[in-house]
Amino acid sequence: MAYITQHSAGVPAPVRIGLIGSGWMGAFHADSIARRVPGAVLAAIADPNVESAEALARSLGAAKVTPNAEDILADPEIDAVIIASPARFHSSLIAQAAAAGKHVFCEKPAGQGLEELDAALAAVQASGVHFQVGFNRRYAEDFLAAKKDLSAGVAGTPQLLRSLTRDPGNGSIPNAARVPAWTIFLETLIHDFDTLNWFNEGAEPVEVYAVADALVEPGLRDQGFLDTAVVTIRYSNGAIAVAEANFSALYGYDIRGEVFGSKGMVQAGRATETAARRFTSEGMSADTPRLNVELFRQAYTDELADFAAAVRARRDGLPPSSSDVTLTPGASDARRALAMALACIESVKHGAPAPVPAPAASTVAYAGEKS
Amino acid sequence: MAYITQHSAGVPAPVRIGLIGSGWMGAFHADSIARRVPGAVLAAIADPNVESAEALARSLGAAKVTPNAEDILADPEIDAVIIASPARFHSSLIAQAAAAGKHVFCEKPAGQGLEELDAALAAVQASGVHFQVGFNRRYAEDFLAAKKDLSAGVAGTPQLLRSLTRDPGNGSIPNAARVPAWTIFLETLIHDFDTLNWFNEGAEPVEVYAVADALVEPGLRDQGFLDTAVVTIRYSNGAIAVAEANFSALYGYDIRGEVFGSKGMVQAGRATETAARRFTSEGMSADTPRLNVELFRQAYTDELADFAAAVRARRDGLPPSSSDVTLTPGASDARRALAMALACIESVKHGAPAPVPAPAASTVAYAGEKS
Amino acid sequence: MAYITQHSAGVPAPVRIGLIGSGWMGAFHADSIARRVPGAVLAAIADPNVESAEALARSLGAAKVTPNAEDILADPEIDAVIIASPARFHSSLIAQAAAAGKHVFCEKPAGQGLEELDAALAAVQASGVHFQVGFNRRYAEDFLAAKKDLSAGVAGTPQLLRSLTRDPGNGSIPNAARVPAWTIFLETLIHDFDTLNWFNEGAEPVEVYAVADALVEPGLRDQGFLDTAVVTIRYSNGAIAVAEANFSALYGYDIRGEVFGSKGMVQAGRATETAARRFTSEGMSADTPRLNVELFRQAYTDELADFAAAVRARRDGLPPSSSDVTLTPGASDARRALAMALACIESVKHGAPAPVPAPAASTVAYAGEKS
Amino acid sequence: MAYITQHSAGVPAPVRIGLIGSGWMGAFHADSIARRVPGAVLAAIADPNVESAEALARSLGAAKVTPNAEDILADPEIDAVIIASPARFHSSLIAQAAAAGKHVFCEKPAGQGLEELDAALAAVQASGVHFQVGFNRRYAEDFLAAKKDLSAGVAGTPQLLRSLTRDPGNGSIPNAARVPAWTIFLETLIHDFDTLNWFNEGAEPVEVYAVADALVEPGLRDQGFLDTAVVTIRYSNGAIAVAEANFSALYGYDIRGEVFGSKGMVQAGRATETAARRFTSEGMSADTPRLNVELFRQAYTDELADFAAAVRARRDGLPPSSSDVTLTPGASDARRALAMALACIESVKHGAPAPVPAPAASTVAYAGEKS
């Protein structure tokens, strides 16, 4: 052959990632790693449901499989883990992974109580591993564009903020989601809380007032299931925010954010699937976004690419990548949003405003976070 | 280790691709293959400018390098080639690649004259390799959504069509683009011609009337350079289309398509970079798309993924993937659009409408195309 | 002359209207009556500030002037009055006008307390005159279109509603508006309360939770001035609504409404002044609506045209005009919205949710209202 | 009575207008004058169809009626006329009205041939009356906003322009419109020609190339009826424009304009009836504008208000109202657009580009026009 050069190296070794939990979200993250995130390799999958893990590994053409997360944590070839198990295991897995020296990407919520989360984050801090929580909305192109405008002062000092999540549905709540009560705050609105905190960066949430009800399926009200909620939040800088969620939007997946301030307003949120429009005797129409993994496909890819790049930088002793805006959601972000969700539960229980616990003293100094 | 399984295979071997031409577009395709197209590997790069090819190979961490396209065509490890050389070499490279049994993805235009292109396409037909031309707009999400609506009959019988291309600029024409005269038809409007043909599928372009001028830089008019053009096209089904191009849109990259028919209208084209909006004392504003590789990043990825999947299906003896609409631009599409561009040149030369040559008899029966 | 016919009559005599209060809003209504509302004549203007009234009368080329509203109420040539005095006089003027047999259009709020308003509405009921309150947003073309969709069931059963008012400003509060405390509820958000009630027709507001602050001019906080507020409202049908207001939007006049329900969502609100768009090196931009009398010019005209038509029908013994949706805001609407504003004041005072008083027994049966 | 003043005058006497032609457009103008245009009175109606004129007069409650336009022209109480007769009478009525000293508002086209129009405009010039032609699109809020931007230099030097008219329809051509051949140029595209000329102010149209066909109802092609047309226009400043029309848009009335130039782009055209949007399981949708008298109601009012104000200024010896942009379409505008329509007919007849006749020497100096 006449080839004059042969480049087999020169590029840094990929980050080797172990996935803990191969459910719907875990499988999607695995697919992102395997097919769309450069510089990362899916090396292993742990799931007690071994069949699920095996099927996933097969479909992606690689990755070792184990029923035990411990196997991944003990594997010296693994650089980092993605925690996508049920939420009740998140905090303890974070702590174990940190103790094992694995960098951690954890799906939201990072914990279900402040005590368990603080312990986990303390382990992260002690070990010095990189920690990121799955607040993917920060990586959505329109939310990131809005954040850049806010950082540039386009809206001035925030006065009114809004964030909403409406999950796609068909008017009923799937069996799988008929879990006790507080999912809407702990798993759904926690995204909105982070968006609001990120947009109102520098201020702390002080108080929440939450109302919630079973409006999609009133028949589930007696079982304590809540499918609709509105939360008012007061921030330390005076700004007033509203977060809103519902579990059954017949038109699809509706995610929006808005900041109004002393100089103007910035909005994020995409109303239609694409820019295509049709005009017929029925008027104008367009398709709406249907699934989070469609609307936010790029955001899901980019959050993992950000994670992989940060892990690579740590591993190879490089300076972290810089951005003109705060981007990576870390320990204090995970805790702040969880504190708000927990305060909402108190507010609903008592039908009154509830204070948001102040940040843990240690949280503000988590390693690797901007001060 | 306690891993219970180890999946090292099971997934089909990736398609091994050789890149011919490592200029701006070639380098972008290389990056897509290396980082965003699953199931494909960039195996080799050929470019007389070896330094350019080496730099590209290094940055992507792989790929053999050679100054001679022939080395790639002779390499038995290569399944397929991407031809991204200057346009004057396209037809002969297609013919050589086909003769060597390599599947071909060729940037537009596939040739600069009908004779050379017909010879190349005959070689493709003779060898039975898969052939695709780089009309990436078909893969843009909004154009594809519009096409699906058209196939579903939303607009009825087409009566009026439009397609426009406005390249980003700053009011002057870069030196590199100050090439003799006909670039605007052969390299730019050829995209719009394909879009119109695809949207008006089943009809043939019959006649064009083109006007063109140097309006961005009138000083270049005497050198025959044309930076602005408008083309009226008559189709065999009576539909009347307009294609329009300009080389210096100060607001960025503006690509739109529209079909009006007996039942309604379908539009494609994205006016803003993201869905984010800002409102200030100056009014409402938003960023506009700036670069083709930004606006169409997904489209560039998807056209190569479509190519890789088709090559894989051919290689592994699988049925081609099916789609509910015509998608992959092939031999007859490449020829039809080129015939229109050449007719435009005649129209401008004579200041009168010019007929579009009929499809070559052989074109209609190119292997692998839908009849 | 060869004219064959001469039509000097045949059309019903115009409604003769007396204006009480010639301030900014009164003057605008006078202009609407004089120039844009067919079938109505501005016959007289009463204002203690006689110079203001005279100037207005002169500019419109007609109308008698008096410092005393009583002169208008006693004038047998006057069919109806528009009450545009300061809000503290509204209820007593309504009562007097009703007693004098004049039909009444009253600017919002129709009163400042429930007791005074109930007395006024009782007088309206006793006299049988037509009563309309100035909730002009119902006549804005996009809000009316949304209402028609809601009545047609497009959104299904309401679950989440929103309405917002952001008044145009430049970052400071004008002296004239630096009145004690509760303007934001009584004069501004009362519009949003009516919009929400109208959109959620058939349900009653049950409870509100309001937060309010001086964020535009924090220096005015100690004087009790409030320029920013967010209200959460619970309705008898379970729906949860949010109303929001701010006194200084630098980008102009921002009015939006949204209803989300079991079948979908309906939105109203116009983001830009016109459909014109500009694209420059700065991106895409458009002008935003600046003044209520610009954004809602047609709505202001149409509410008075509706009033004039109703008065004409009463006077001439014709059946009232019919509409496919509830439109004219009447006695129970005025009272319901005021009750909400007053409940907000209680909520802010106590930092807790506050109940909304139930409709007065008599309100539900006000003459001329749909049952 | 205690009224202190009584203003019966002080405002200038209204302009007394005679309507010639009480067909669909004439009746709409009559309604505008009677109900929406301040400072104007509909004093008389002439129509050979006296029943139509009488019915109109009755519905508006006023106006003398005659079968003969001459009666109106001879009536000393009439200040001005609106000519809304069939187009073949326009030029001679303009000439007669001018000779009678009546100010003239004439529906488009002002004539059907250049000779007759030049004679009419010469009579206008000789008599010194005010002349306006019914190019109402100039008064549409978004087109006017675009014009202001263009005058401010937002788009820089025009390079590419577009204007389109799609009339609402249901897929067939109404009997009334099945007139010989050239309606699409003389009555429809003449609007677009004026829009393009106004947007490209200062340049003259030099050459047109028109294609036209019967695509809505191909069965009418043999009778020479044309329902679809595309026109390419070259201007003296190099700009290239496209005008497009179709007689049956199932989605309603679609009017758009666009100017692309050396600094950016300006667009006009409203895609939806209002800003209201609905979101259901079918996606996002909105109503589209249906009728010209709905989409352009304000524009139709404003063009007559502009006319009335100009007549009043002439009559009362006041300076004409000033505008920051060229607005009122006058004699040279009427002639320029007609010359383009006639050139289009030549182009279609010969299947080749056709020159646009230069402005008549006298046209450039018509009284009362900006030089």
User: A57-100: per-residue pLDDT in tens?
Assistant: 998 876 799 999 999 999 999 999 999 999 999 999 999 999 99
Among C91, C47, C252, C82, which Cα is nearest to C186's?
C91
Q: What is the pLDDT averaged over residues B116-130?
A: 97
What is the per-residue pLDDT for B227?
95
Question: Which residue on chain D is closest to A287 by alpha carbon?
Answer: D283
The predicted-structure confidence for D90-108, as pLDDT tens digits, reads as follows 999 999 999 999 999 999 9
User: CA-to-CA distance for C38 and D370, rounded, in angstroms?
Assistant: 36
C255-303 pLDDT tens trace? 999 999 999 999 999 999 999 999 999 999 999 999 888 889 999 999 9
To the nearest whole Å, the CA of A134 is away from the closest chain C CA by 27
Backbone phi, then psi, for B211, in 5-degree steps?
A: -120, 145
The predicted-structure confidence for C136-164, as pLDDT tens digits, reads as follows 999 999 999 999 999 999 999 999 999 99
| pLDDT tier, D176 (very low <50, low <70, confident <90, very high otherwise) | low
**Interchain CB distance below 8 Å, A240 and C228:** yes
Q: What is the pLDDT of residue D365?
A: 44
pLDDT classification of C367: cutoffs 50, 70, 90? very low
Cα→Cα distances C210→A360, B354, C188, C207, D29, Å:
29, 71, 14, 10, 51
Q: Are D56 and D81 in contact (CB under 8 A)?
A: no
Chain A residues with CB under 8 Å of B267 CB are: 276-279
Kindly list the residues from chain D whose CB atom is less than 8 angstroms away from the CB atom of residue B284: none
Residue type, D43: A
Cβ pair A276:B8 closer than 8 A: no
Residue C93, pLDDT > 60, answer yes
Residues of A in contact with D272 (CB under 8 A): 283-284
Q: Indicate the SS3 state at residue C100.
A: coil
Residue B126 contacts by C-beta under 8 Å, 6 or more apart in sequence? B98
- D215-256 pLDDT tens trace: 999 988 888 889 999 999 999 999 999 999 999 999 999 999
pLDDT of residue A30: 96
The predicted pLDDT at position A371 comes to: 36
pTM, entire model: 0.94
Least confident of A294-303, B207-216, C87-96, D66-75: A294-303
Q: Which of B345, B110, B115, B154 is closest to B267 using CA atoms? A: B154
What tens digit of pLDDT does each residue of C219-259 get? 888 888 899 999 999 999 999 999 999 999 999 999 999 99
The pLDDT value given to residue C221 = 86
Q: Which residues, including other chains, have CB under 8 Å from residue B286's CB and lie 6 or more apart?
A: B272, B273, B274, B276, B277, B278, C283, C284, C285
pLDDT of residue D360: 74
Model confidence at C366, pLDDT cuts 50, 70, 90, reads very low
- In tens, the pLDDT along A293-335 reads 888 999 999 999 999 999 999 988 888 777 889 999 999 999 9
- Whole-number pLDDT of residue B292: 87
- What average pLDDT does range D124-132 have in this prediction? 97
Q: Which chains touch A (3 or more CB pairs under 8 A)?
A: B, C, D
- Please tell me which residue of chain C has the smallest CA distance to A166: C260
CA of D248 vs chain C CAs: smallest distance (Å): 23
pLDDT of residue D10: 54
Report the side by side order of strands in the sheet with C131-133.
Answer: C131-133, C103-106, C80-83, C15-20, C40-46, C64-66, D5-6
Give A271 to chain D, closest Cα distance, Å.
8
**Residue A221 has what pLDDT?**
86
Least reliable range by pLDDT among B274-283, C59-68, C98-107: C59-68
CB within 8 Å of B328: residues ≥ 6 apart: B132, B138, B306, B307, B310
Q: Is the pLDDT of residue C328 over 70?
A: yes
* Cα–Cα dist C244/C228, whole Å: 8
Q: Which residues pair with A161 in a beta bridge?
A: A241, A259
ipTM score of complex: 0.94
Q: Which residues of B touch D (CB under 8 A)?
A: 156-157, 159-160, 166, 171, 209, 211, 213, 215-216, 218, 228-230, 232, 234, 238-240, 242, 244, 246, 248-251, 254, 260, 262-265, 351-353
C-alpha distances in Å from residue D291, one per residue of B257, D22, D169, D243, D273: 25, 19, 10, 20, 10
In the predicted structure, residue B360 carries a pLDDT above the cut 80: no
Separation CA C314–CA B363 (nearest Å):
78
Q: Give the model's pLDDT for residue B367.
A: 42
Q: Closest Cα of chain D to B302: distance in Å? A: 25
- The neighbouring-strand residues paired with C258 are C162, C267
Cross-chain CB nearest to C4 (options D1, D66, D287): D66
Task: Kindly report, residue by residue over D264-303, the tens digit of the pLDDT.
Answer: 999 999 999 999 999 999 999 999 999 888 889 999 999 9
Please identify which residue in the block is written with the tokens 């609100």: C269
Backbone torsions φ then ψ of A62, nearest 5 degrees: -165, -175
* Domains of chain D, first to last: 15-135 (3.40.50.720), 137-296+330-357 (3.30.360.10)
Provide mean pLDDT across the span A5-29.
83
Judge whether C111 and C48 are in contact, CB under 8 Å.
no
How many angstroms separate the first and last alpha carbons of chain A?
A: 56
Q: pLDDT band at residue C176, thresholds of 50, 70 and 90?
A: low
Question: Phi first, then psi: what are they for B333, rounded to 5°?
Answer: -65, -40
Mean pLDDT of chain C: 92
> Nearest-CA residue of chain A relative to D280?
A251
More confident of the two residues D243 and A1: D243
Comparison of pLDDT for B179 and C123, the residue scoring more: C123
pLDDT in tens, B14-65: 899 999 999 999 999 999 998 889 889 999 999 999 999 999 999 887 679 9
User: Does residue B181 or residue B353 have the better pLDDT?
Assistant: B353
CB atoms within 10 A of CB B358: 14
d(CA C112, CA C110): 7
Partner-chain contact C159 A216, CB within 8 Å: yes
Amino acid in position A233: I
- Kindly report, residue by residue over B249-288, the tens digit of the pLDDT: 999 999 999 999 999 999 999 999 999 999 999 999 999 9
When CB atoms are compared, the residue of C44, C67, C264 closest to D279 is C264
Please report all neighbours of C, defined by 3+ CB atom pairs within 8 A.
Answer: A, B, D
Please count the other Cβ atoms lying within 10 Å of the Cβ belonging to residue A10. 11
* Residue-averaged pLDDT of chain D: 92
pLDDT, mean of residues D334-338 = 98
Q: Is the pLDDT of residue C39 over 90?
A: no
How confident is the model over A332-361, as a mean pLDDT? 95
pLDDT-derived band at B359 (thresholds 50, 70, 90) equals: confident
Provide, rounded to the nearest whole percent, the portion of chain A with pLDDT above 90: 80
CB-nearest to B283 from C249, C251, C254 is C251
- Is residue A366 predicted with pLDDT exceeding 60? no
Confidence grade of residue A292 (pLDDT, cut at 50, 70, 90)? confident
Distance CA C188, CA C165 (A): 7
Share of chain C above pLDDT 90, in %: 80
Which residue is closest to C212 within chain A, CA to CA?
A240
Nearest to A272 by CA among A303, A297, A292, A295: A295
- Residue from B5, C231, B115, D31 nearest A22 by CA: B5
- Three-state SS at D159: strand
Consecutive H or E run containing A255: strand A254-261
Subunits in contact with chain D (3 or more CB pairs closer than 8 Å): A, B, C
Contacts of D246 (CB under 8 A, 6+ apart): B159, B160, B260, D165, D166, D167, D215, D216, D227, D228, D229
